[in-house]
């Protein structure tokens, strides 16, 4: 297969790729004019992404390729050529593409990192899947091999491989994942990014989001925020969480806790609670960004508590994050009342979250106004 990449790259580069049905499938050589400048054979990509190659040749690229191999490549396009080389040149790799595609993807990624030769990779493939799990940096054994085999896939990015490894090296999460059916990559990635309390019903809550058709944008982020709010308010007393098995139950628990938190402030008195916070943390931190029109900073512990009460959400419980500089709170008056939380990123500040009364999302015009303020401050 010949690829003329000059239109995409801006210089006369041609790539010649051996097809699937050849002696060394997906070996390649590149030429500028008539001069050969590079070549590769096994686990050596040409430096041109699979997506670009596929866009150029379409079905010719995968002509004759078994479906399990095509699916493995489609789920890990960042390893497209390497997977095609491995499966095209080694029958054992093709068998693993059908038996446990996720393990194959992780194995090819590991083989590239450790610079295995074709003979060394072929020898590795003679091992049991439980042994291969240990080779790629996962807990060895049948349990991990079975988990990888049962995990449903979807197109992933390279970073998710690292997240997958991190998740599967945590006994507290693998115990939950092993007993959850059906299991998919989104469950594993969610657990990789979840640092809080875990219970069996948590994955059922995630199911409710994954099963939504069409998926609602921001649902996973909203779930993470609800979990963070609930855990912050509950503190060490988390007996209520194991009873939660869906998003509606989590939302109800969150709303009850918010109402109870704000009612406790009413009973104790805002001034008294603010004094306690001042005694614990010291003076309220100065705002990192200046006020701008209808956007004004919260500047005292009492005002932080008041913001949560009048907006009927739990921003009053953000006192530790505020005191440690991990978040700063502002209030937007128009076009609607919005509580705005910003967080540090690099040398500036970015939006963490914005909520109107009762934790509803603000309007598009409010979000645009907030982003314009942040852009102005960054400029």
121 and 3 fall within a common domain: yes
Closest alpha carbon to 40 in 22, 27, 58: 27
254 and 347 fall within a common domain: no
Q: Give backbone dihedrals phi and psi of 356, rounded to 5 degrees, phi first.
A: -90, -170
What strands lie across the sheet with 13-17, from one edge to the other? 2-4, 13-17, 28-32, 35-40
Residue 309 lies in a domain: yes
97 and 27 fall within a common domain: yes
Of 225, 243, 268, which closes a domain?
268
What are the pLDDT digits (tens) for 70-88?
Answer: 999 999 999 999 999 999 9
Q: How far apart are CA 255 and CA 259, in angstroms?
A: 6
Low-confidence stretches of the chain (pLDDT beneath 70): 58, 213-217
62 and 13 fall within a common domain: yes
Quick one: DSSP state of residue 293? T
164 and 228 fall within a common domain: no
299 and 261 fall within a common domain: no
pLDDT of residue 151: 95
22 and 71 fall within a common domain: yes
Residue 66 lies in a domain: yes
Range of the domain at 236: 204-268
pLDDT of residue 213: 61
Of 93, 126, 159, which closes a domain?
126
Residues 6+ apart with CB under 8 A from 100: 129, 145, 148, 149
Residue 34 lies in a domain: yes
351 and 373 fall within a common domain: yes
Q: How far apart are CA 10 and CA 294, in angstroms?
A: 49
218 and 180 fall within a common domain: no
113 and 227 fall within a common domain: no
Q: Where are the alpha helices (DSSP H) in the chain?
A: 6-9, 50-57, 67-75, 80-89, 91-99, 101-113, 118-124, 129-135, 142-150, 158-168, 171-178, 185-193, 201-210, 219-234, 247-268, 270-281, 301-311, 319-323, 364-378
257 and 152 fall within a common domain: no
Quick one: DSSP state of residue 300? S
Q: How far apart are CA 109 and CA 86, in angstroms?
A: 11
Residue 132 lies in a domain: no
Of 92, 126, 160, which closes a domain?
126
pLDDT of residue 217: 67
Q: How far apart are CA 54 and CA 48, in angstroms?
A: 10
Please give the full DSSP string across 211-270, using - where no structure is assigned: T-SSPPTTHHHHHHHHHHHHHHHHTT--TTGGG--SHHHHHHHHHHHHHHHHHHHHHH-H
Token pair for 31: 């030429």
Residues 6+ apart with CB under 8 A from 187: 177, 180, 203, 206, 210
pLDDT of residue 214: 60
The β-bridge relationship of strands 35-40 and 2-4 is unpaired
Residue 198 lies in a domain: no
7 and 118 fall within a common domain: yes
Entry pTM = 0.84
Q: How many domains does the chain divide into? A: 4
In Å, the largest CA–CA distance within the chain is 84
For residue 233, what are the CA distances in angstroms to 256, 268, 331, 359? 11, 17, 22, 15
Residue 184 lies in a domain: yes
Residue 48 lies in a domain: yes
Residue 51 lies in a domain: yes
Tokens 């020898």 — which residue? 123
Please give the full DSSP string across 26-57, using - where no structure is assigned: T-EEEEETTEEEEEE-SS---SS-HHHHHHHH
């Amino acid at each position: 297969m010949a690829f003329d990449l000059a239109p995409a790259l801006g210089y006369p580069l041609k790539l010649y790729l051996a097809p699937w049905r050849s002696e060394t499938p997906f070996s390649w050589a590149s030429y500028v004019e008539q001069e050969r400048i590079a070549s590769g054979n096994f686990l050596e990509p040409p430096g041109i992404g699979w997506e670009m190659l596929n866009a150029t040749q379409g079905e010719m690229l995968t002509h004759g390729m078994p479906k399990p191999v095509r699916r493995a490549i489609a789920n890990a396009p960042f390893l497209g050529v390497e997977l095609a080389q491995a499966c095209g040149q080694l029958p054992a790799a093709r068998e693993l593409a059908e038996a446990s595609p996720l393990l194959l993807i992780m194995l090819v990624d590991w083989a590239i990192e450790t610079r295995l030769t074709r003979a060394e990779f072929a020898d590795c493939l003679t091992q049991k899947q439980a042994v291969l799990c240990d080779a790629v940096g996962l807990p060895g054994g049948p349990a991990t091999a079975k988990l990888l085999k049962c995990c449903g896939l979807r197109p992933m990015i390279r970073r998710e491989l690292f997240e997958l490894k991190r998740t599967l090296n945590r006994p507290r999460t693998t115990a939950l994942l092993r007993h959850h059916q059906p299991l998919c990559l989104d469950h594993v990635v969610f657990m990789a990014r979840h640092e809080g309390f875990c219970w069996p019903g948590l994955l059922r809550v995630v199911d409710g989001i994954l099963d939504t058709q069409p998926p609602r944008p921001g649902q996973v982020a909203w779930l993470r925020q609800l979990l963070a709010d609930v855990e912050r308010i509950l503190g060490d007393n988390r007996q209520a969480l194991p009873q939660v098995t869906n998003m509606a139950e989590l939302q109800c628990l969150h709303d009850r806790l918010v109402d109870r938190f704000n009612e406790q402030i009413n009973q104790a008195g805002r001034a008294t609670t603010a004094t306690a916070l001042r005694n614990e943390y010291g003076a309220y931190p100065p705002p990192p960004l200046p006020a701008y029109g209808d956007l004004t900073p919260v500047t005292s512990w009492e005002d932080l508590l008041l913001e949560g009460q009048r907006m009927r959400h739990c921003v009053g419980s953000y006192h530790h994050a505020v005191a440690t500089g991990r978040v700063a709170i502002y209030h937007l008056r128009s076009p609607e009342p919005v509580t705005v939380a910003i967080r540090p990123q690099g040398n500036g500040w970015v939006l963490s979250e914005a909520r109107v009364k009762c934790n509803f999302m603000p309007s598009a015009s409010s979000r645009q106004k907030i982003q314009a303020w942040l852009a102005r401050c960054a400029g």
